[in-house]
Structure 1
């Protein structure tokens, strides 16, 4: 913990903000899929979720582009302000006196766009004030904080979203407001005026700025693999959430009724608790594995494991799978991040980081598409789709690493 207090204040504050943002997001995010399915059906829900991710993809690219000309703080303020407005709208539309799922969707769309818009600037700010020596510790701390906040947020969401939704949404709005105040009063700008790029704000200017990344065949291959990993990682928020809500066999454990929504929370809590307690041990255990081997094995465990959960409807088999899935995540995550850093053009890290921020929305679009497709293909078809994504991700990881090795030998 003493190392944490030695970090730049901006990094300390960003980690605090990340804890708040992830906690409020995980308390409502997975449950909103169930919410939309209940009010609008699986088919419409799939299209709505796709639209959210498309908007997030565009916002992430644009936010990354502007963070080099506006400065980090201005982009963060704009994005987080949108989050506040979005969560306030969502809360107002779910009061005890009035519920409107359609305007609720608009509110969450604004919040998602704001989060995506601010994320590249937050990442760039962290890089601005960190060093090669402490960056590994910072990423490890962020990963630990993310999982701790997910555990807390998922617990709150699973137990209170159905019975105290209005109060929970008010809490998310307050959390976003706290993050906005932190940026406004305590975060300092890390990109001096003299370092800011003179670039346009048009769509064409954004396209030209990212063209260099698209021409890097090795990095594009690795990003295709990253999209597959994002599809796998987002399964609990999308198809698994809908599957459990509709098909899980309600049971009782220690006098507590476990229905689909709460089973999703049990899976998430198991996952994050294992990571918080065992991540250090697992990192040491697989330290001798190459990044490629760890990435392939971890991706396979996660992809196959989630595909099987799409077919399960009972408590104990799902809990066992949750443990196995978490082992796969702890194997793949550090290896994948290490490979991504090595794949980047070290002279263009800012642009590459902005492009990387758009990978999650693309993966989420595909993951939400499984929700819509399941209307036609069912649980088995959804499981087979995820297996196809898993194989594709492993293939493109291998191709990218092969190109990286060829570069090393030149």
Structure 2
């Protein structure tokens, strides 16, 4: 706690905002798919969700560019303000006397676009006021906050979404408004006017801004490594889920029947609880490791563990491997995020943050592709592909760090 109190006030407030926005998003986001299916059907819902992801992707790129033009606070106000309006609309359209799923979708679309628009500015602000010395601790703290807020939000959503949806949605709107007020009243601008890019706000200006990022070979290498890492950590949502659903040997533990889908939930619960309880301890244990060493060891443990899970079908071996992979996750996450911040051009942090977020869907696509081709290559082939993604992530991280070190000595 003493280390947290020593941080810049903007970072402290950023963590408060992160806790609120992720908690409210986790409480309603996963359940909205069920909501949409009940009103629109599965086919239309699938297309709507893809549209939301595309809109969020574009908003993130645009927000990253404007964070270097407008400054961080103005972008955050615009994005979080849109999120607050969106959640308020969704709540109003689900009252006990009137329900409109079409306007509800628009409200959630606006909220998602707002969150995506603000995200690069929020990350850029954090980088502005942090240092190489405290950045790993900050990212570890943020990761702990994310997991705690997801756990609380998911519990609230699971308990209240069906029986008290209107009240839950009012809570999300209130939470978003509180976040907006925090930014408006207490957050201070960290990107000075003299440092801002003298560029316009058109689509062409955005493309020109990201052209600089594309020309940074060091950062592109690190983004390729990031795509490989995304393939690894998204495994529970894709191939691992399919593998457990099809091949897991059902068992009864403490009187509770555990089948494939529940086993995936058990793995997620173990992962989240370990991070919430042990993240601070793990950060102190590996504080003296370099970012490169932590990346190598952490991603190797995480990737190797998920690959092994692709081959396992029994409860206890899967549980043991879940514990091991979480250890790797706690080692790699703060180090990787700290290294990513170090790779960025300090004059274009907003654009770099936006581009970083934009590469993640590529990893999700590749991860989902493993599910498709597993029909031909089986569990062993899927495990080998994940090990290839692990090797790619480690190799390109190494190349990027070598270029970073060479740049320091020039």
Please tell me the TM-score bracket, short chain as reference. 0.7 to 0.9
Cross-structure match for 1:360: 360
1:273-307 Cα shifts (integer Å, max 9, x gaps): 21233234434544565533432332233234334
Q: Quote the offset at 1:393 in angstroms.
A: 2.1
> How far apart, in 1, do the equivalents of 2:259 and 2:53 lie?
28
Match in the other structure for 1:319: 319
Match of residue 75 from structure 1: 75
| Partner SS for 1:358 | helix
Q: Deviations over 1:317-362 (max 9, x none)?
A: 4433321220110121233234323433345444433432333344
Residue 88 to residue 245, structure 1, CA distance change in 2 (3 Å): farther
What CA distance in whole angstroms lies between the structure 2 residues aligned with 1:5 and 1:251?
A: 46
Q: CA offsets, 1:14-46, max 9 Å, x none? A: 1111111222233344556677789866x9877
Q: In the TM superposition, what is the alpha-carbon distance from 1:387 to its structure 2 partner?
A: 4.2
Please report how far the alpha carbon of residue 217 of structure 1 lies from its aligned counterpart in structure 2 after TM superposition. 1.1
Contact 2:83-2:114 at 8 Å conserved across structures: yes
CA contact (8 A) 2:65 2:350 kept: no
Aligned to 1:152: 152
Check the 8 A contact 1:218/1:400 in 2, yes or no. yes
- CA apart distance, 1:311: 6.2
* Matching of residues 158-307 of structure 1 within 5 Å: 158=158, 168-237=168-237, 240=240, 254=254, 263-286=263-286, 289-307=289-307
Per-residue deviation, 1:145: 1.7
Q: Distance in 1 between matches of 2:47 and 2:219?
A: 29
In structure 1, stretches of 5+ residues that fail to align are: none
Give me the CA root mean square deviation: 4.1
Partner in structure 1 of residue 391 of structure 2: 391
- Greater alpha carbon shift after TM alignment, 32-41 vs 80-89: 32-41
Cα distance in structure 1, aligned partners of 2:280 and 2:84? 35
1:244-286 CA-partner distances (Å, limit 9, x unpaired): 6788777765566767766555433322321233234434544
Contact 2:90 2:107 in 1 (8 A): yes
Structure 1 residue 189: deviation in Å? 3.4
Match for residue 59 of structure 2?
Answer: 59
Q: In 2 relative to 1, CA 142–368 (structure 1 residues): closer, same or farther, beyond 3 Å? A: same
Q: Secondary structure at the match of 1:70?
A: coil
TM superposition score normalised by structure 2: 0.79
Query: TM-score by structure 1 length?
Result: 0.79
